Chains A and B, each alone.
Chain A
Amino acid sequence: MKNTLYKEAFKRTLPVLSGYIVLGMGYGILMAKNNFDLVWTLSYGLLTYAGSMQFVAINLMKSSAHLLTVFITTLMVNLRHFLYGLSMVDHYKDAGRYKPYLIFGLTDETYSLVVTWDSPEGVDPYKFAFVMTLFNQIYWVTGGIIGAILGSALTFNTAGIDFAMTALFITVAVEQWCATKNHLPALLGLLGTVICLALFGGSQFLIPAMVLMVSALTLLRPYVDSKDEEGEQHA
């Protein structure tokens, strides 16, 4: 039973393994280039554990940014994580001793793995989510260590390997699409985000997109909810 849990968790986190090792290495290399040694790379990987924010923090440290700036920047970069928690509140409700770490480790990639909430049969779903979350952080930290040690000695052309993350999100989106008859939320997320990207540009579109998605879904609730019930009746 235990073996199934770890094996299946490893299998499902494989896409994240490839992505996190490469991105983590990129992070370790960049940190080393900016004279932040292994201890710094490890500290960020273990304590902050937020990919894009860690990259941004390099610049914050280089410019000795004011702590208020650090606070606001972190809010801006990581605010999307608020939505992950919002949609996992019920799933993680009774996670008990696993709960603090599950919440701490809720990165983009971990979210995309736990949101489907389909642990193998006979396996504790909370422990399963916990193990996947833990595996992911191990990959991320390991990538950082390799990058910090190897520095830029690496020559293998990894350009484009970060597409693994995009691909992971695409596969989750396809499975979500196939699992429901109500495609309104997905279409809204896609169109809303694209429109916000066109309007606000790459560095500022995420927060308006989030506000738009949540308010539109809230306003459309009577319609979406009744449509759901209809679907269940026909099923």
Chain B
Amino acid sequence: MHNILILIVASATTLLIRALPFMLFGNGEKTSPYILYLGDVLPSAIMMMLIVYCLKDTNIMVLSETLPALIAVMVTAGLQFVKHNTLLSIVTGTICYMVLIQLVFI
């Protein structure tokens, strides 16, 4: 029973966090200039934050963890810069990372 309550609280809180910006700033006829400004500049800052968040468990003192991550990040970013083909960059980068951690840096 308590587990059902945990499920409900976790779900409701998650939804609340996702809905709160819309409840706070999405009501007026026009979106305020400050929110428009944040909508303009925040996404690229957030995307960088997410990349760091994904890599946070990489121990930079351990070469066999740092190198695969670093190489795979450079391959993905480099490919995307040159070809602008999202799927190609993701597939190549991911395979590269998997091969590196499974076969090369063991």
Contact assessment for A174 and B81 in the assembled complex, using a CB-CB cutoff below 8 Å: yes
- A33 lies within 8 A of chain B by Cβ: no
Checking A112, A164, A193 against B52 with a beta-carbon cut-off of 8 angstroms, the contacting residue is A193
A85-B19 CB under 8 A given contacts A49-B14, A161-B98, A163-B93: yes
Cβ-defined contact, B54 with A81, below 8 A? no
Verify if B10 is at the interface (C-beta below 8 Å from A). Answer: yes
In whole Å, how far is A38's beta carbon from the nearest beta carbon of chain B? 14
Encoded as 1 (CB less than 8 Å from any A CB) or 0, chain B from 25 to 57 comes to 110000100111111111111111111111111
Output the nearest chain A residue to B4 by Cβ-Cβ distance: A43
CA distance A161 to B102 in the complex (A): 11
Range for the number of chain A residues in contact with chain B: 35 or more
Question: Assuming A75-B13, A104-B18, A189-B48, is B6 touching A213 (CB within 8 A)?
Answer: no
Q: Which residues of A contact B26 (CB under 8 A)?
A: 89, 92-93
A residues in contact with B76, CB < 8 Å? 166-167, 170-171
CB pair B42 A67 closer than 8 Å: no
Closest Cβ–Cβ distance, residue A197 to chain B (whole Å): 6
A183 to B100 CA separation, bound complex (whole angstroms):
31
**B10 touching A70 by the CB < 8 A rule?**
yes
Q: Which bucket holds chain B's interface residue count?
A: 35 or more
Once the chains are docked, how many angstroms separate the CA of A174 from the CA of B8?
A: 38
Secondary structure dominating the interface of B: helix
**A168 close to B (CB within 8 Å):** yes
Q: Which has the most chain A C-beta neighbours within 10 Å: B25, B39, B45, B54?
A: B45
- Cβ 8 A contact of A167, one of B20, B72, B101: B72
Whether B18 pairs with A86 at a CB distance below 8 angstroms is no
Whether B10 contacts A57 by the Cβ 8 Å rule is: yes
Residue A150 interfacial (CB < 8 Å): no
Supposing A85-B20, A160-B101, A161-B94 touch, asked if A217 and B41 sit within 8 A by C-beta, the answer is: yes
A178 interfacial contact with B, CB 8 Å: yes
B102 touches A193 (CB 8 A): no
Partner pick for B46 among A61, A87, A157, A167, CB 8 A cutoff? A87
Q: Which residues of B lie under 8 Å from residue A189 when comparing CB positions?
A: 44-49
Distance of B39 from chain A, by nearest CB (Å) = 5
What's the minimum C-beta distance from A100 to chain B, rounded to whole angstroms?
A: 9
Task: Report yes or no: B44 in contact with A93, Cβ–Cβ below 8 A.
Answer: no
Q: Which residue of A lies closest to B54 (CB)?
A: A166
Residues of A within 8 A of B97 (CB): 160, 163, 167
Cβ proximity bits B95-106 to A, threshold 8 Å, 1 near / 0 not: 001101110000
13 more A-B residue pairs beyond the given contacts A54-B10, A190-B51, with a C-beta to C-beta distance below 8 A: A70-B6, A85-B21, A89-B25, A90-B31, A115-B47, A160-B98, A163-B97, A163-B98, A167-B90, A169-B50, A171-B86, A178-B81, A217-B38
Can you report 17 A-B residue pairs in the complex whose CB atoms are below 8 A from each other? A44-B7, A64-B2, A71-B9, A75-B13, A80-B50, A90-B35, A108-B50, A111-B46, A115-B47, A164-B94, A167-B89, A175-B86, A177-B44, A186-B45, A202-B56, A209-B49, A228-B40
Binding site for A on B (CB under 8 A): 2-3, 5-11, 13-15, 17-22, 25-26, 31, 34-57, 68, 72-73, 76-77, 80-81, 84, 86-87, 89-90, 93-94, 97-98, 100-102
